[in-house]
Amino acid sequence: GIQVEQSPPDLILQEGANSTLRCNFSDSVNNLQWFHQNPWGQLINLFYIPSGTKQNGRLSATTVATERYSLLYISSSQTTDSGVYFCAVTSGSARQLTFGSGTQLTVLP
């Protein structure tokens, strides 16, 4: 099956800093989503982005499907951005997601 790798596994930032999270996938995808899992364990949808670029406030994402990667940008980070960021994809005719192992982000005040 398709493989999804996220980097870095851990990231510690000072409040106000910017960051880039990366997601590499091993095959063509028909869906790519970014999620934020907050400290309470809730999975929050950030972006549905199988290709192209999207922005939502301080967050933006870019997927380059032909090169099999996606990037999540967080600007002016806040302590509430802390948590785990997951990239997940579907491939072929499947609708179920395959997840990466996540990036643990800690934003210090």
Interface positions with other proteins (CB under 8 A): 1, 30-31, 33, 35, 41-43, 45, 48, 86, 88, 90, 95-102
Which residue lies nearer to other proteins by CB, 5 or 109?
Answer: 5
Please tell me the distance from the alpha carbon of residue 94 to that of residue 43, in angstroms, as a whole number.
21
Report the DSSP pairing between strands 83-90 and 59-64.
unpaired
What's the min distance (Å) between Cβ of 85 and other proteins? Answer: 11
Residues paired with 108 in a beta bridge: 14
What's the min distance (Å) between Cβ of 53 and other proteins? Answer: 17
